[in-house]
């Protein structure tokens, strides 16, 4: 008995049959050599990844080829005599029905991707790999951000000090109000211990002690914070290192996401904000300080990686948060949000449900070889300098562009730029990385050429082999 095609595949096949020969042109826009035939290994990989961005089209193409292979006389809508053949009424109806179903499915997915509203003054969700914005609400308006300020304080401390540096608390630090680790004037802790007090317990006194140690004064440190924010393109103005309410102190949700993304590039920052509990010394006290991280997502949300809570009467509840699943990390911010943890979880769930990670290249990935004219080594391997990836959703069309030199002149040194890998989403480059030489190839000297030429002669080997040794 003849096997029946599964319903989903039958629908896809009908749509393919209805479009006929145009399908080949519609499914994938790329260079001709990337379409499979005669392509190199790296180019075939490019084609595979581009197809992964439009799975429906890939299936339609594959099924169309399968149909034509089994029915060679019916290729391109022509019968065995070469005459044109129209689709049957039943097939036309199926095609129309399939098209409507697919359009409805796409519309449903698009609507689902938009049907979320976060109850916060401002909110944003980005993917950590590329910084692509997945959701935004009032993301470019400055608001007070309370203790999420301490993300920048910690970033500057890690960039400008060593973990074992000794930090001494001043009278000003010891007298700082709000949440604290109860530093006393003259008390010393290592920078590593002070940072744990800053980010786990959210110690306002620790923030002042760190600011004075790094900047010489709170005011100088605030200037450093503003300069670093400007470098990152973050719309923020810092007046204090701890986020206590102060005139003019504020940042946009987008700015806090950018600052958190930069900080999360550092392994030491990741380790710090991912710590749930720590114990540090307490001078003149019979007990040590036991610090518990206030970010409950670390305990309650699968894949949570950080980063910081904050609250003042003026700012309300603020939270910068991050989580990673299936290799994709998302970073979110909610400012002035009463149900901060619940809304953060909702936003993360929405992001993971509607987006997945598309990757143009991974750091160190082998991306082929390049010929070296006049080089001691005729070819050098090419690798990706860094990763190039971004979060995409099912309705996005994405592809990978590899630009690689065919040949370069010697010498080539490891790390030299030889090309580029870029990820395009809906026609826009979202992420890219340089393709660099993995090894060196020095320029051939006259003696190298002489030895090579002589070695090619029948009697030359008698002289060349002893010389080479």
Active-site residue numbers? Answer: 147, 150, 202
Alpha carbon distances (Å) from 323 to 126, 218, 219, 457:
11, 32, 34, 65
Note every long-range contact of 31-36, with CB atoms under 8 Å and residues 24 or more positions apart, other chains counting. none
128 phi and psi, to 5 degrees? -65, -30
Residue 207, token pair as written in the block: 């923030």
Distance, CA of 257 to CA of 253 (rounded, Å): 6
Distance, CA of 31 to CA of 378 (rounded, Å): 26
Q: Are 359 and 387 in contact (CB under 8 A)?
A: yes
Q: Are 394 and 405 in contact (CB under 8 A)?
A: no
Q: Are 263 and 155 in contact (CB under 8 A)?
A: yes
Asked if the peptide bond before residue 135 counts as cis, ω within 30 degrees of 0, the response is no
Q: Are 441 and 381 in contact (CB under 8 A)?
A: no
**Bridge partners (DSSP) listed for residue 372:** 408
Query: What DSSP designation does 72 have?
Result: G
Report the Cα–Cα distance between both ends of the chain, in Å, rounded.
72
Taking the CA of residue 184 as centre, how many other CA atoms within 13 Å lie in the half-sphere pointing to its CB?
Answer: 6
Alpha carbon distances (Å) from 20 to 16, 67, 391:
6, 12, 33
Residue 164, token pair as written in the block: 């074992």
Residue 203, token pair as written in the block: 């110690």
- Number of other CB atoms surrounding residue 428 within 10 Å: 9
Local structure of 146: helix, strand or coil: helix
Distance, CA of 338 to CA of 315 (rounded, Å): 11
381 phi and psi, to 5 degrees? -75, 150
């Amino acid at each position: 008995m003849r096997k029946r095609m599964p319903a989903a595949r039958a629908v896809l096949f009908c749509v393919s049959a209805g479009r006929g020969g145009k399908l080949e042109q519609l499914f994938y826009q790329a260079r001709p050599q990337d379409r499979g035939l005669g392509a190199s290994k790296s180019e075939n990989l490019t084609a595979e990844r581009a197809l992964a961005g439009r799975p429906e089209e890939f299936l339609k193409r594959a099924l169309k080829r399968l149909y034509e292979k089994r029915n060679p006389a019916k290729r391109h809508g022509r019968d065995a005599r070469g005459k044109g053949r129209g689709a049957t009424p039943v097939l036309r109806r199926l095609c129309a029905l399939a098209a409507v179903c697919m359009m409805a499915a796409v519309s449903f997915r698009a609507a689902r991707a938009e049907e979320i509203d976060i109850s916060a003054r401002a909110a944003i969700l980005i993917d950590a790999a590329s910084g692509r914005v997945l959701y935004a609400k009032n993301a470019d308006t400055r608001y007070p951000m309370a203790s999420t300020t301490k993300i920048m304080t910690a970033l500057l401390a890690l960039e400008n000090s060593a973990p074992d540096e000794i930090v001494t608390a001043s009278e000003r630090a010891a007298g700082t109000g709000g949440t604290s680790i109860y530093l006393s004037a003259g008390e010393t802790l290592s920078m590593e211990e002070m940072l744990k007090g800053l980010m786990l317990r959210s110690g306002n006194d620790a923030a002042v002690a760190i600011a004075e140690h790094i900047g010489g004064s709170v005011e100088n440190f605030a200037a450093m914070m503003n300069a670093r924010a400007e470098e990152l393109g973050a719309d923020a103005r810092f007046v204090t290192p701890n986020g206590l309410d102060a005139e003019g102190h504020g940042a946009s949700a987008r700015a806090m996401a950018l600052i958190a993304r930069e900080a999360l590039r550092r392994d030491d920052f990741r380790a710090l904000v991912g710590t749930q509990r720590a114990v540090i010394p307490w001078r003149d006290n019979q007990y040590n300080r036991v610090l518990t991280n206030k970010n409950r997502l670390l305990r309650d949300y699968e894949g949570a990686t950080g980063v910081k809570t904050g609250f003042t009467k003026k700012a309300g509840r603020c939270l910068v948060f991050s989580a990673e699943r299936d290799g994709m990390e998302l970073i979110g911010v909610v400012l002035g949000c009463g149900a901060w943890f619940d809304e953060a979880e909702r936003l993360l769930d929405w992001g993971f449900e509607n987006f997945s990670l598309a990757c143009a290249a991974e750091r160190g990935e082998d991306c082929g070889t390049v010929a070296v004219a006049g080089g001691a080594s005729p070819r050098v391997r090419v690798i990706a300098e860094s990763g190039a990836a971004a979060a995409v959703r099912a309705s996005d069309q994405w592809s990978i562009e590899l630009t690689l030199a065919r040949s370069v002149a010697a010498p080539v040194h490891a790390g030299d730029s030889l090309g580029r890998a870029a990820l395009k989403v809906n026609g826009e480059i979202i992420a890219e990385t340089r393709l660099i030489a993995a090894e060196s190839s020095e320029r051939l000297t006259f003696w190298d050429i002489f030895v090579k030429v002589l070695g090619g002669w029948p009697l030359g080997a008698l002289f060349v082999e002893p010389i080479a040794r």
